[in-house]
Amino acid sequence: MIPVQGVENQTIAVLGLGRSGRATAAALAAGGAHVVAWDDGADTREQAEQQGLRILDLTRDAHWEGISALITSPGIPHLYPKPHPVIAKAYELGIPVDNDIGLFFRSFATRDWESYDTTPRVIAITGSNGKSTTTALIHHILREAGRPTQIGGNIGTGVLSLDPAHDGEVVVLELSSYQTDLARALTPDIAVFTNLSPDHLDRHGGPGGYFAAKRRLFAEGGPDRAVIGVDEIEGRYLADQLAMAPSDDRVIRISSGLKLERFGWSVFARKGYLAEYRKGRQVAAIDLRDIKGLPGEHNHQNACAAYAATRALGLAPREIERAFHSFEGLPHRSQTVAEIGGVAWVNDSKATNADAAAKALTAFRNIRWIAGGLGKEGGIAALQPHLGHVTKAYLIGHSARDFALEIGQTPYEIAETMEQAVAHAAAEAQPGDTVLLAPAAASFDQYPNFEKRGEHFIALVRALQG
């Protein structure tokens, strides 16, 4: 646990008592704060009270007396589509609102660091797609190189549940737009922006607000190095805003497709090869084509981001390349589940929007595509240019019929459920085919989350093996 600094003897309110909320309350108490808490769920409040938390109904004006700050969980709206009533009340009263990410960055450094030989560092990764894989890959590279490291944030451990940093340790954090949007402190040593595609637009009031939430990671704290994916205009804009000139090597531009030779520092992948350029000259290259844990152009972009971040820490190219080969990937992200009778079964349940699904669809050939669920704004019509390798689509869930209207001439069937889709794909697949679950939709019509959807797919595939 990381005790929160600067809160001793203050009364701090915590809104939301899920995993991050409970961890935040404990970290505040460890820092000497008097913690009061509220959650909209009666059962959650009762459980928290049984665990010793003081529950205070923050919907009532009288209970705000003496409260010096409100710490809210990331999933609770603080601006769009409208603020939660408790957060709105804090604004009205002028009570500062923060989240656990802000508390982490203001509490991470301690006096113990004065005795360390190597100052601990923080790498923070944000973006629309690929941030979990990039975060896990950076953590993996550091471990393989023998560097002390922890991983947390939006993946794995909540930030305040991490251990205080050891000498020379690198903490790798995945940060969502929900987390970066509100944090009052954002000071990573290295910040990574993978890419941007439309997502969470209702929560951010549109694409501009969504990008602004991501941009805060770079604008608020001024990282020593910024690794920026420039395959979209937003990334090119961000890199331009941060760099003083094309030669400014504090900004490392990355791409999966663009040839970036004219900048002070760049890393890009083309035709399966990663190249690092410094001051217009190539200094390293890696063949990514046979790295099983990183299939497809989207994972090559993730590899570029992880390579750039760890190179910025001083790791050698060959150290990074060795770690690439031992990386097994993350569950539900282009995860090869099995090969049965010459047919590969791949679980990319995390592909919850069209952009993520497009990346998965370009990574394989002879695809039998399982897609559908609760479709997102904009649908999947944009996927038509990426369906050339799809032999047949098996459409499931709430938006199956809507998706059927948006995939052009691609053969399809309305399978309705995952069971039917897997059974029919198994019956029709030929050796050399890939059965790919890349839903391009949320899971909430049939599953509580994308993980459960992926786990169901895996269980059905395992059953085919007997």
pLDDT tens across 366-376, in order?
999 999 999 99
pTM of the predicted structure, to 2 decimals: 0.85
Tokens representing 65 are 């007396």
Distance of CA 463 to the CA centre of its chain: 30
User: Is residue 443 domain-resident?
Assistant: yes
- Are residues 280 and 342 both part of a single domain? no
**Where among 41, 74, 98 does a domain terminate?**
98
Q: How far apart are CA 349 and CA 358, in angstroms?
A: 13
Q: What confidence score (pLDDT) does residue 129 get?
A: 86
- Are residues 250 and 315 both part of a single domain? yes
- Are residues 57 and 23 both part of a single domain? yes
- Are residues 94 and 128 both part of a single domain? no
User: Is residue 359 domain-resident?
Assistant: yes
- Are residues 216 and 148 both part of a single domain? yes
* One-character DSSP codes across 116-174: -SS--EEEEEE-SSSHHHHHHHHHHHHHHTT--EEEEESSSB-GGGSPPPPTT-EEEEE
- Are residues 61 and 141 both part of a single domain? no
Q: Is 413 helix (H, G, I), strand (E, B) or coil?
A: strand
- Are residues 301 and 421 both part of a single domain? no
Question: Number of folded domains in the chain?
Answer: 3
Binding site per annotation, positions: 127-133
Q: Determine the structural domain holding residue 447 and report its residue range.
A: 335-464
User: Is residue 285 domain-resident?
Assistant: yes
User: Is residue 51 domain-resident?
Assistant: yes
CATH number of the domain bearing residue 35: 3.40.50.720
User: Is residue 128 domain-resident?
Assistant: yes
- Are residues 140 and 252 both part of a single domain? yes
User: Is residue 398 domain-resident?
Assistant: yes
Q: Is 283 helix (H, G, I), strand (E, B) or coil?
A: strand
Burial 156-195 (b: 16+ CB within 10 A, else e): bebbbbbeebeeebbbbbbbbbbbbbbbeebbbbbbbbbb
**Where among 50, 79, 98 does a domain terminate?**
98
User: Is residue 4 domain-resident?
Assistant: no
- Are residues 83 and 197 both part of a single domain? no
Q: What confidence score (pLDDT) does residue 359 get?
A: 86
CATH number of the domain bearing residue 428: 3.90.190.20
Q: How far apart are CA 123 and CA 225, in angstroms?
A: 10
Q: What confidence score (pLDDT) does residue 330 get?
A: 84
Q: What angle do CA 46, 48, 50 make, to 5 degrees?
A: 70
Q: What confidence score (pLDDT) does residue 101 get?
A: 97
Q: What confidence score (pLDDT) does residue 399 get?
A: 97
CATH number of the domain bearing residue 266: 3.40.1190.10
Low-confidence ranges of the chain (pLDDT < 70): none
- Are residues 311 and 167 both part of a single domain? yes
- Are residues 316 and 390 both part of a single domain? no
User: Is residue 2 domain-resident?
Assistant: no
- Are residues 371 and 440 both part of a single domain? yes
**Where among 326, 359, 393 does a domain terminate?**
326
Binding site per annotation, positions for ATP: 127-133
Q: How far apart are CA 150 and CA 139, in angstroms?
A: 7
